[in-house]
Structure 1
Amino acid sequence: MPQAPPTAGRFHHLRGALREFPALLWSFLYFFFLLTGYYVLRPVRDAMAAANDPSAVFPVAMVDWFAARGIALGDYQLQVLFTGTFLAMVVLQPIYGALVSRYPRRLFLPVVYLAFIACLLGFRFAFEAGLPGRGGLFFVWVAVFNLFAVSVFWSFMADIYTDPQAKRLYGFIAAGGTVGGLLGPEITTRLVGLLGVGNLLLVSAGFLALCLVCILRLAPWARAREQAAGLRSGDEAMGGGILEGLRRIATDPLLRAFAVLMFFGVGVGTLLYNEQNAIVRAMTLGNPAAAEEATAFFSMIDKSINWLVLLLQVFVTRAVLTRWGVAPLLVGPALLILAGFCVLWASPLPMLVAVVQVGTRASEFALAKPARETIYTRVDREARYKAKAAIDTVVYRGGDLSFAWLYKPLSAFGSSVVFGAGVLVAGGFLYGAWRLVREQARLPAQPKG
């Protein structure tokens, strides 16, 4: 008898999971709509960051103020943008902490997304009116939006699914985001010339509105899981201090391990991103069509990453999580990234930079992130919403800020020095993965509250 192809088994698992967990479809759609909306914006953001004209990114008065003091703002473009992003995260973290402390889930989740939609409408006006400084502000906002919106998404998923369910289903759910990551850049590539950047922001806002529909449809499953496990209802205000998340990171070994992993993981990505950005700026210098070419290049990178992520999520993530748990998906990508930086240290060719960038981000999205998110199903609500948000935003952007500024003096000595330092950063990433594997093994199967 002929054997069914491997893909048939994967789709059989998916059909079975949909019958057993109807919430899976809405979870898939939620992440699909969210990342489609984000990836419509991402190529625009990246093209702005790579612009050779700082007056297209920062207000003219800011450029002139630095020039009057002998500082070419364009030489520190990414560093200034990352600094602005980190400061925005520091300001917004206590606001988010107050929101999740004082309001129940049924209120604060929609409020977060409605605020993002309102911001997109404001940016649409800014782009249509050609307001100065819109590029830098948009870069900072997209970074804030991505981290908060995705962090809130996975916190909500941890309210709905138990740890065994997460190991079976998070690969499929993450694939919804990957499909959105493929569609978003395609929308931007095909429509940016027809609609313009301003109207693309309305397209993204429409996808975020669909996220709100999914949140409303998924709420009953979150309540049912909490009632079945005897957990505190998410329809009650969480309470606690607005900076409780940061305090928990400082005192909890598991959360500290999460923070170490995040900090050094961001470090390897930031060094790669800065080097890739420098390559694109050199390629497009003096080219009148530079913005369009840069946008197309970044769209190509994003599509390559997301196709690879989709293949891994369909064929690898679920199988490894259910059979061996989180350890291979946390330690394996860290080892591969360390090997990639060793190769770049020896031979820092532009094409190899792009290849390692694709491999680094693909292993993060397809393997390491689903593994990390399953661990949050076994911790309490304050860790899921407050500490997790602090790790995903403040620690994340603190790593961005640190390594963006570190890149600047390193780059003066050439790419080999950048990637030599990257080998050490990748070693820190591997250490964080090892610590997290050790600490999560001590967790109970169910959260305490």
Structure 2
Amino acid sequence: MSAAADPRLPWHLRFRAALSESPALWWSFLYFFCLLSGYYVLRPVREAMGASHDVEAVFPPGMIAFFAARGLPLQEFTLQVLFTCTFLIMVLLQPVYGALVSRYPRRVFLPVIYGFFIATLLLFYVLFDSGVPGRGMAFFLWITVFNLFAVAVFWSFMADVYGNAEARAYYGYIGAAGTVGAFLGPILTRSLVERVGIAQLMLVSAGFLGVCMVCILRLRAWAVLRERERRLASGEVPMGGEVLAGLKLIAREPLLRWLAVLVLLGVGVGTLLYNEQAAIARRFYPDPEARTAYYATLDLAVNALTLVVQLFVTRWLLSRFGIAPALLIPGFAILLGYAALAASPLPAIVAVVQVVTRSSEFSLAKPARETIYTRVGREWRYKAGAAIDTVIYRGGDLTFVWLHKLLSGLGSKAVFGAGVLLAASLTFGAWRLLREERTLPAERGAD
């Protein structure tokens, strides 16, 4: 047993041993730190746009006129319209992404994806600096796509660099590095937004993504070395296969289907809470800067709990007990939270359950799911995994944002009662996924 995986050692000694055993960890830490720093600088801007009263800042004039001509108050359907458009964009982008990863090697498609996001951030700097109408909708859609694709690609790449045993020992630490970045992002936003304005935040985020590009180039060497040593399919040649292979694999493979179900239900419990939170923010924070600061504070609370769990719980659970507790504990916690909300839907309890829901996903459920991808082939990781994290994820957003609109007319207790059912189904889905996961080999062999 390596020192990094020895449960008898204190966590800080295991952490030092992990760094000495795997120099690639330094670059993985920096990569995820900068990726989430860049995202969390911008996330409060997205949340503020989704909860904005200024419909002209969010939607383009043509869309406002279209809804007005039909007697529909666009302001009352802000999130529903945004999530519907997001899902449609995901569906359109999935074959583009599939073609990119099928026809080009890893050394090409990874820098291209991040280069695209950097270029569009520079464009948003111009849009926000000029006050172009409809900038809010464009930015909301863009950052949602950025978050899902950029993070999905990160974890797929990590499965090229690390094996299953390494993933269980290291993913908690890598996640903690990202959480520290997620801490820094809202702090920067709260410090800068009222001084320099929203437009300048785009340049800050672009700088973080530039560092991510450097990390990708450095980590490539370790991915190539591991593939050669274990005779795995090389990521330095085009993957080949069908453009829509990811969706077909999900339909065909039980393991991937249950992974998709788990993500779908996780999105459901999160979306119901998100919409209640947006209603509260609109009511108590009418000013966009104050609303942005509110969301930044909530992100800080989520990230604080996430970091504590990642440093002291995640690695210990994954290394000693496997992925079962990391998948089942969040389901039970969310079930209890929704039961409390159904009994007493107070704003403070909504905030607490939101923190628990998001932090348990980031610190436990997500790392546990990602270790599964270290034991399957590259097409499962880059295509099926990305399809689950984009199309399935946003399909869940679309479904549950409209379900919330329907249930909200019956009151908060109806919303949270539906959440109890979703949380119970989430726990059942985790149990079924664990049954399928046991059929995988302990380590991925030659692809």
TM (normalized to structure 2)?
A: 0.97
**Alignment correspondent of 2:437:** 440
Q: Which amino acid aligns with 2:62?
A: A
Distance in 1, matches of 2:292 and 2:11, equals 35
1:436 positional shift: 1.1
Q: Which amino acid aligns with 1:169?
A: Y
1:261-291 per-residue CA deviation (whole Å, 9 max, x = no partner) reads 000000000000000001111213xx4xx11
**Alignment correspondent of 2:99:** 98
1:7 positional shift: 13
Contact residue 42 and residue 202 of structure 2 kept, 8 A: yes
Distance in 2, matches of 1:218 and 1:336, equals 36
Distance in 2, matches of 1:431 and 1:52, equals 39
Distance in 2, matches of 1:10 and 1:38, equals 28
Distance in 1, matches of 2:185 and 2:30, equals 14
Pick the aligned partner of 1:407 from 404, 408, 419.
404
1:10 positional shift: 1.4
Identity in percent: 60
1:61 positional shift: 2.2
Pick the aligned partner of 1:359 from 346, 350, 356.
356
Distance in 2, matches of 1:167 and 1:74, equals 45
Contact residue 46 and residue 140 of structure 2 kept, 8 A: yes
**Alignment correspondent of 1:377:** 374
1:216-231 equivalent positions in 2, closer than 5 A: 216-231=217-232
Q: Which amino acid aligns with 2:336?
A: A
**Alignment correspondent of 1:20:** 21
Aligned length: 440
1:50-199 equivalent positions in 2, closer than 5 A: 50-199=51-200
1:98-118 per-residue CA deviation (whole Å, 9 max, x = no partner) reads 000000000000000000001
1:285-320 per-residue CA deviation (whole Å, 9 max, x = no partner) reads xx4xx1111111100100000011000000000001
**Alignment correspondent of 1:254:** 255
Distance in 1, matches of 2:118 and 2:410, equals 43
Distance in 2, matches of 1:201 and 1:351, equals 32
Relative to structure 1, is the Cα distance of residues 31 and 300 closer, same or farther in structure 2, using a 3 angstrom cutoff? same
Moved more, 421-430 or 389-398: 421-430
Distance in 1, matches of 2:416 and 2:256, equals 28
Indicate the RMSD between aligned Cα atoms, in angstroms: 1.2
Distance in 2, matches of 1:57 and 1:432, equals 37
Distance in 1, matches of 2:194 and 2:273, equals 29
Q: Which amino acid aligns with 2:74?
A: L
| SS of match in other structure, 1:431 | helix
**Alignment correspondent of 1:300:** 297
Distance in 2, matches of 1:188 and 1:8, equals 38
Contact residue 194 and residue 289 of structure 2 kept, 8 A: no
1:186-237 per-residue CA deviation (whole Å, 9 max, x = no partner) reads 0010011222111110010000000000001100110111111111110010
TM (normalized to structure 1)?
A: 0.97
| SS of match in other structure, 1:52 | coil
1:334-345 equivalent positions in 2, closer than 5 A: 334-345=331-342
Distance in 1, matches of 2:168 and 2:144, equals 28
Q: Within the alignment, does 1:316 sit opposite 2:317 as a pair?
A: no
**Alignment correspondent of 1:3:** none
Contact residue 163 and residue 374 of structure 2 kept, 8 A: yes
**Alignment correspondent of 1:206:** 207
1:357-388 per-residue CA deviation (whole Å, 9 max, x = no partner) reads 00000000001111111110001000000000
Q: Which amino acid aligns with 1:133?
A: G
1:411-426 equivalent positions in 2, closer than 5 A: 411-426=408-423
1:46 positional shift: 0.4
Q: Which amino acid aligns with 1:426?
A: A
Q: Within the alignment, does 1:30 sit opposite 2:31 as a pair?
A: yes
Moved more, 153-162 or 223-232: 223-232
1:388-430 per-residue CA deviation (whole Å, 9 max, x = no partner) reads 0000000000000000000001001110000001111112211
Deviation beyond 2 Å, 4+ runs, structure 1: none
Contact residue 41 and residue 186 of structure 2 kept, 8 A: yes
Contact residue 68 and residue 74 of structure 2 kept, 8 A: yes
Moved more, 217-226 or 427-436: 427-436
Distance in 2, matches of 1:65 and 1:251, equals 41
Q: Which amino acid aligns with 1:23?
A: A
1:293-350 per-residue CA deviation (whole Å, 9 max, x = no partner) reads 1111100100000011000000000001110000000011111111111111111000
